[in-house]
Structure 1
């Protein structure tokens, strides 16, 4: 792959504005989900807030996509993180990023149940527990974690975590078994027993929730599909960006870049980035724009190397574990964060001095988001250091 052209940081910010729908918007939840590759879903509210920022959708619109039409589906995938994917991308995910997580989780659980005295044969115990859960879901239908523990006594086994620490606790093995099954793609998070800000899924056999969906793809094809989608959404990006985002090996990423005929380009940082071969034209300048995005939004979390849009604000926006809090954007750069008052009012928290135009635009965004939330307060555990200092 030879360097064919340079992509400036200014052009990267123009691509971000348009590809992520932050300057131009999308017509539907499905269109936005396809364009973004997936939403971070660690906190359920983030999916709603991320989609609203790009579509102006209602909570009912996203509820329909998640639980009625099932065009958007939550799935454990890259870096053992929950995401919400377009339905059609799931077979690629199951065969690649999710499969890697499933193998890791199954092996770790097998070791842990032996270590904590649950069984003498960890691999056999995990196989039996997973089979029992899957059989129950296929025969009894959608079931909560609590109901599964009542129905399957082996899931009542407990493990002591850090017993010599003040934060130590005894935990049930049930969530770990469900994590393994969810990563493998044979069960999914179905109807939610809680509100839009909570995650209380009724676990459901995949064939019942998504009838007619195809099987997991071959690993190489799956990674190629994810890298192709990532490059369209986030490109150009470096090899390090893609390896981090996918939670994959360098070998898997390099193979996928070859499989999609990725083109090497130069970046302002002096590093090499990659684009799809039919995506080398410049994006037009989008004009001034501002946006308020939730914690762990895919735009905030899309790259490992973030200086071109984050600037000097890394320690203000990201916690020590690399989780990005709610952000305020102006013209392709993070310029601050946002928080809510006890009555639900959204307040912008600048990380730098804002121009009058930026302050006015972000203030208007805050008013719109306040109205959309209608008194609901989103208590993200991933609040940024910038905002925590002012709480």
Structure 2
């Protein structure tokens, strides 16, 4: 995976790369949501608002965020919301859906189907033949309707309303409808995708739509293609970063690194060193001969689950460990963050009256210039959000504190 001397890439250079490759420096912003998604590979879609907020932070004209993102998602369908890495919902460029499905979706879907059938059997629910009949009827109804909610589909296929007990006798016991589990499974299998929501752009009540047709790809080839795209946007990255982001086995990551001719670089991330993983990887054509020109200090207000903040497992090079308890929930989901010069320096929130409030948690190298720049970004965010209220799906300590003040 590369010959010759191993070049060192320090934290400052990684932050300079991040400013440009993640389209966060003002001069690197994009004109359309498609450009942003293509650059970043994927936008987190678990929280619907994150997609729009992440786009707005990187768009030249944030006032066009909602109209342009809805056009891309629901009119042109140049962006697709679907299950991807780690069985998480993301928004991908349409041309990448086949790669994502083959590289990550197939294995996850197989486990999900086996698990669903096992749970149904334990609950005394009908068998695989019955489930296949319901599935076929559901897909037929969806094709006829074009897009529909689970409730609408249940009118065509009443068996979707049937329920079974999941985890009987366990602390997590619950009553599941067939529609909830089956539609999720069909999404993981690449047969359906999430369509237009019932409410505004912050709504999590989605319609379902047939998945766009795509070719069946070789799994190893698809994994190599996805890893190459991601390293272009996020490299250098450690092996631990790669296995975490993709959800693949370490053997699959190593195979993909070999396939794309990835090159090794030396990192000085203390967190990575402590994990005995200070070796990073970049693409074969990464311009290692000279570091990227350092951009002027820049500020950004990124949303909860932003793809940059969630992009790596090892984050010490842009996020001080002391800040994590305030900015992450107990499951490891990052909340809204304030950035200055390529580092997370605080967090922000929106209060009930619509005011955007923020707090700096890191003062090293963060002075009056930074405060003015952050205030300007808060005004930029407020100007296009308008009267819409945003509450992150996963609440974090600082976000809760700021909204309660």
The aligned counterpart of 2:305 is: 296
CA distance in structure 1 between the partners assigned to 2:144 and 2:68 by the alignment: 31
Cα distance in 2 for partners of 1:129, 1:263 equals: 49
Match of 2:259 in 1: 259
1:178 equivalent to 2:179? Answer: no
Q: Tell me what 1:117 maps to.
A: 124
Change (3 A) 1:107 1:166: closer
Q: Please report how far the alpha carbon of residue 164 of structure 1 lies from its aligned counterpart in structure 2 after TM superposition.
A: 6.1
Distance 1:231 1:140 in 2: 39
- Report the counterpart of residue 347 of structure 2 in structure 1: 337
In structure 2, the partner of 1:32 is 36
What's 2:73 paired with?
66
2:371 corresponds to 1:359: yes
Alignment of 1:30-179 (within 5 A): 30-55=34-59, 56=62, 57-119=64-126, 121=127, 123-161=128-166, 169-179=174-184
Question: Does structure 2 retain, via aligned residues, the 8 Å contact 1:74–1:189?
Answer: yes
Task: Compute the displacement of 1:17 (Å).
Answer: 0.5
What residue in structure 2 maps to residue 19 of structure 1? 21
Aligned residue number for residue 240 of structure 2: 240
Structure-1 separation of matches of 2:216 and 2:345: 41
User: Which residue matches 2:295?
Assistant: 286
Q: Is contact 1:78-1:101 (8 Å) kept?
A: no
Q: Is the 8 A contact 2:167 2:174 kept in 1?
A: yes
CA-CA distance at 1:27 after TM superposition: 2.0
CA contact (8 A) 1:71 1:86 kept: yes
The 3-state SS of whatever aligns with 1:109 is: helix
- Contact 1:326/1:383, CA 8 A, preserved across alignment: no
- Write the distance in 2 (CA, Å) between the matches of 1:258 and 1:166: 44
The answer for the alignment partner of 1:5 in structure 2 is 7
Q: Distance between the aligned counterparts of 2:172 and 2:401, measured in 1? A: 25
* Contact 2:123–2:166 (8 Å) recurs in 1: no
TM-score, normalised relative to structure 2: 0.90
Compute the RMSD of aligned alpha carbons. Answer: 1.8
Answer with 157-166 or 65-74: which moved more: 157-166
| Matched length | 384
Determine which of 307, 310, 313 is the counterpart of 2:316.
Answer: 307
SS in 2 for 1:274: strand
- Of residues 231-240 and 130-139 in structure 1, the stretch that sits farther from structure 2 once superposed is 130-139
Per-residue deviation, residues 158-185 of structure 1 (Å, max 9, x unmatched):
1334666898542312111011111111
Q: Unaligned regions of 5+ residues in structure 2, if any?
A: none
Change in Cα spacing, 1:162 to 1:350, as seen in structure 2 (3 Å) is: farther
Residues 222 and 43 from structure 1, CA distance in 2 versus in 1: closer, same or farther, beyond 3 angstroms? same
1:383 alignment counterpart: 395
Question: Alpha-carbon deviation of 1:257?
Answer: 0.6
Alpha-carbon distance in structure 1 between the residues aligned to 2:234 and 2:335: 19
Q: What is the DSSP-based 3-state SS (H/G/I as helix, E as strand, rest coil) of the residue aligned with 2:318?
A: helix
Secondary structure of the residue that 1:286 maps to in structure 2? Answer: coil
Q: CA offsets per residue over residues 218-271 of structure 1, 9 Å max, x none? A: 111111111011101110001110111011111111111111110011101341
SS, match of residue 177 in structure 1: helix
Whether the 8 Å contact between 1:149 and 1:155 is mirrored in structure 2 is yes
Contact 1:328 1:334 in 2 (8 A): yes
Q: Quick one: distance in 1 between partners of 2:205 and 2:132?
A: 25
Note the alpha carbon deviations across 1:15-37, whole angstroms, 9 max, x for none. Answer: 11000110021122111110000
Q: For 1:200-279, list aligned pairs within 5 A.
A: 200-206=205-211, 210=212, 213-269=213-269, 270=273, 271-279=278-286
Matched, 1:321 2:328: no
Match of 2:204 in 1: 199
Q: Can you give the 5+ residue segments of structure 1 that lack an aligned partner in the other structure?
A: none
Question: Normalization by structure 1: what TM-score?
Answer: 0.94
